[in-house]
Amino acid sequence: MSKPHDNKAAKSAILGKIRRSLSAVGAVADPNRETARAEVLERLASKPLGIVPKRGEVGAYEKVAMFMDYAERVSSTTARIASYDELPGAIADYLRAHNLPQSIITGSDPRLAAVNWQSEPQLERKIGPSDGSDLVGVNHALGGVAETGTAVLASGPDNPTTINFLPENHIIVVHADDIAGNYESIHDRLRDLGGKAHMPRALNMITGPSRSGDIEQKIMLGAHGPRAVHVIVVG
């Protein structure tokens, strides 16, 4: 039986080695790393923007179109509806068109909870995390990113992570106003929600249905996650 791991000692050993290696080439004239720490804290506070592709810098209408276009390029299907009132119908249509039972699982997202699901009486809606037995999951996205057709979903009771991955069919609802040109805008929204980078347990950026190229580098859809992703843009 080996002796128990001394985490503190290991940490100081590793950081010590890093400092020694850096100072060996004269990169560190800063034995207590005060300057280095100040530089790091400044950078963490200022969060400089990197290079944001011009592609996403378009008007609101084009942004939504670009988001849907890129989503389709990665084998998602898309639909656009005017308001949440049309959501049950859009979902029911999708299920019918794909020979799926009229049954979905969702989280407790208030935007979904406010929908009048009675408009599609056939449509059964379960609420909660998925245990893998559901064929169709519906989650509301925090936002979409036009530059690559990526939907961004935050974990939590509103939109459980298991719904993103376990059902074979994943329907993602996103509001048109929440579609941004680039990833950076979504991070800003997260920071605004809860102060300094207040992150949900999992932030899932989803770009199309699950796939694998691991057998002879031929891409096949439906690896471990959903085989089909359908994106419904509201508004």
Partner 1 sequence: MEITSPDFKKNASEALADTTLQRALKNVELGFIGKRQDAVDALPEFEALRDLGRDIKTHCLKHLDVYLDEYEKKVTASGGHVHWAETAQDACEIVRDICRSVGARTMTKGKSMISEEMQLNAFLEKDGMEVTETDLGEYIIQLRGEHPSHIIAPAVHVTKEQVEADFRRAHTQLDPNRNLDDPVSLLGEARAVLREKYFAADVGITGANFLVAESGSSVIVTNEGNGDLTQTLSRVHIVLASIEKVIPTLNDLDVFLRLLARSATGQEQSVYTTISTGPRRAEDPDGPEQYHVVLLDNGRSEMLGTDFEEMLRCIRCGACINHCPVYHAVGGHSYGWVYPGPMGSVLTPSLIGVDKAGHLPNASTLCGRCESVCPMRIPLPKMLRHWREREYERHLNPTPQRWGLKGWAYFARRPRLYHQTMRFGMRLMKYLAPQTALMRRLPAAGGWTKHREFPAPEGKTFQQLWAERQASNGQTKGDAA
Residues in 83-102 at the binding interface with partner 1, rule: CB under 8 A? none
Strands (E), 14-135: 77-81, 103-106, 124-127
Q: Which of residues 130-149 bind partner 1 (CB under 8 A)?
A: 132, 147-149
Residues 51-90 that bind partner 1 (CB under 8 A): 51-55, 70, 73-74
Least CB distance from residue 229 to partner 1, whole Å?
A: 9
Q: Are strands 143-145 and 150-154 parallel, antiparallel or unpaired?
A: antiparallel
Per CB under 8 A, does 118 bind partner 1? no
- The CA radius of gyration of the chain, in Å to the nearest whole number, is 23
- Window contacting partner 1 (CB under 8 A); options: 8-16, 57-65, 79-87, 172-180: 8-16
* Structural tokens at position 36: 């280095």
- Close Cβ partners of 152 (under 8 Å, ≥ 6 residues apart): 141, 142, 143, 144, 145, 186, 203, 204, 205, 206
Q: What is the distance between the alpha carbons of residues 129 and 140, in angstroms, rounded to a whole number?
A: 14
Stretch that binds partner 1, among 58-66, 83-91, 115-123, 179-187 (CB under 8 A): 179-187
176 binds partner 1 (CB under 8 A): no
Single residue of 105, 162, 167, 230 touching partner 1 by CB under 8 A:
162
Minimum CB distance to partner 1, residue 98 (Å)? 18
